[in-house]
Amino acid sequence: MSIYPNTSADVIPHRPGFRLQTLEVRNWGTFNGQIWKISPAGTNALLTGDIGSGKSTLVDALTTLLVPGNRITYNKAAGAEGRERSALSYVLGEYKNVQSEVSGSRKAQYLRQPDKDYSVLLARFADDTTGQLVTLAQTFWVREGKVQKFFMVAEGERSIISDFGNFGGDMAKLRKRLRETPGVELLDSFSEYASRFCHYFGITQRETALDLFFQTVSMKSVGNLTDFVRNQMLGRTDVRDHIAAMTTAFGDLRQTHETVRKIRDQIDRLVVLVDERQQHEQWQTQLAHLAQCRDAVPTFLAYLKVDLLRADLHRHNAQLKTLKHELADLDRQIGEQTQQAVNLRVAQKEDKQGQRLEELKQELDALTHERDGQREQARRYTTLVNRIDLPDATDATQFYANQQQLPALLTTAEEQERHLTQQRDACIRQRDATKQRLDDVQAELASLEGRRNKIPRDMIALRQRLLDGLNLSEADLPFAGELLKVQDDEADWEGAAERRLRGLGLSLLVSHDRYDRVSAFVNSQHLRGRIVYHQIAANYTQQRRDIAPHRPSLVNKIEINNNTEFYDWLTDQLIEHHDLTCCESIDEFRREPYAITREGQIKAGRGRHEKDDRSDIHDRSRYVLGWSNLDLVKTLRTRESTLKTEHQTQVKAVDAVDTEQ
């Protein structure tokens, strides 16, 4: 048997794809006791030899490496139609059958003994274009009459003599040694093994590819090429089965249609009953409610009567209290007059008129002083009751009536005080919040006076910490937003572009030669903020194709500063992450897989949609793109004026509430 690789001068070098370089077998079929090898070297090869020299045996070895064992018909390349060979016969080395003279049965004769010998199949495949080399191997041994095996997938060049020898026949020792070999994977199932080598070879349709390989590698002859392609490569298509299935499906659909139409007719008839039942239930509910109201009338009237009786009781108690005070005054006056009469009678008897006149004068002075004090109290009382809108008390009845109203007035005043306090606190919060926003705007304006970009001042301060710590300039660590702007003639799309590119615009760009210093400094510092930076490879060149200028892509609406060393990197970032079709209508937006609208709705593929309206899309104070901030300064000046007016109004509101309190 001989193998003749194609060595003609017309062979095309560096052909893409993995191709067989070498096939090695040990103890496989009649290849016994040593390692046998063929080397097609990645080209077409002709395998020749006499009948029985082992051509089909080598083909079956290669088939075993690439096709599941339960689908292989061994010796098919030699024209076998049934299972005349098996993996067991190959592993044990069956070479003939001997007929017993006694029983007449035939018994297979083997070159190797079970539980003592083992077999190895190994093939190396190489891709000339990538220089990648992959080795596949399977190891077999027989235990209790059954073939045992494990699979190996390895990167690089492996061989039977170097990797599958000198282990004393202990398969566990061999497996352990192979597992510890770098780049070697051992697998126990063909499914895992096939997944791994298909991954390396770039085979996506594994089942179809392996089945086609088995059909072609074991092909004895092709009688009709058209039938072969139709059956083996295109799959079977039985028109009758399809017609029968379609007929059955049509019958099912027609029956389903009839059933649906019948059910719809039943539903239409039942809808009337359902409506009438719902109306009946509503009437029943109304009747039950009215019955409850009727039953509650006596209780309701009793509550009203109780309230009226309580009001009468309160009024009578007030009158009783007034009468008690009047009675007490009358009793006091009777007592005083009685005492005066007694004193007069005594004075008359004792004839002490001069002494009595002196006593009366003293009493008159005391009463005059008491009168003046009571007049002052009455004046103060009148002033106070007038302030709370109560009538002046010209008699005891009115006085006690006013006194009865004081608790309600006090409760009202306390409620008004609480309301005014809450109103004042709310005004103070609004005033302080407005003052804080005003301070932020003024601080942002002060920050913008010394620079040209639109980056927020907190991000500017964070970058300044890096610049001070690393002794760098702003040109060494630019923000992406300083190098990007929306084209002047695309102002309608500025809000949507700013919202989409805000994250990129607030990112720092770090060149390769500064990356080590920046990453070490950032890692060692507590920045008290969030920072995002991108490492730009040295001598970065554009890797993605340009977008056609006539396309309505968001990328075509963005201008990149021509004087930056990061021009190619920014171009790639825009193309890779922000190539969104700018849609003029929602219908166009629905059709495009990657799209954006002027209102800021984004479709980013796989059905994901996003619209972030936490801030106004036209709020220019949040814009970060561009290398001129004049429009931002103008916007903030207008906002500053508005906030000053709001702050003054809120200060006056707080003063007004203080006065009312």
Q: At what angle do helices 206-217 and 55-66 cross, to 10 degrees?
A: 180
- Give the pLDDT confidence of 446-493 residue by residue, as tens digits: 888 888 999 999 999 999 999 999 999 999 999 999 999 999 999 999
CB atoms within 10 A of CB 540: 15
Model pLDDT, residue 9 = 44
CA distances 95 to 54, 149, 240, Å, are 11, 22, 47
Residue 600 CA to residue 495 CA, distance in Å, equals: 7
Give CA angle at 566 (560, 567), nearest 5°.
35
Contacts 24+ apart (CB under 8 A), 413-416: none
One-letter identity of residue 154: A
pLDDT for 526 beyond 70: yes
Query: Is 154:125 a contact under the CB 8 Å cutoff?
Result: no
This model's pTM is above 0.85? no
Residue 227 reports pLDDT greater than 80: no
- How confident is the model at residue 205, as a pLDDT? 66
**Is 566 within 8 Å of 541 (Cβ atoms)?**
no
Is the pLDDT at 218 greater than 90? The verdict is: no
Q: What is the mean pLDDT of residues 340-355?
A: 67
Q: For 295-324, what is the mean pLDDT?
A: 86
216 in Cβ contact with 63 (< 8 Å): no
Distance CA 503, CA 481 (A): 9
Q: What percent of the chain has pLDDT over 90?
A: 36
What is residue 515's predicted lDDT score, i.e. its pLDDT? 95
Name the residue among 26, 98, 17, 21 with its Cα closest to residue 57. 26
In percent, how much of the chain has pLDDT > 70? 89
49: left (phi > 0), else alpha (psi -120 to 50), else beta? left
> For the residues of 449-500, what is the DSSP string, one character each?
TT-SS---HHHHHHHHHHHHHHT--TTTS-BGGGSEEE-GGGGGGHHHHHHH
Instruction: Reply yes or no on whether the pLDDT at 207 is more than 80.
Output: no
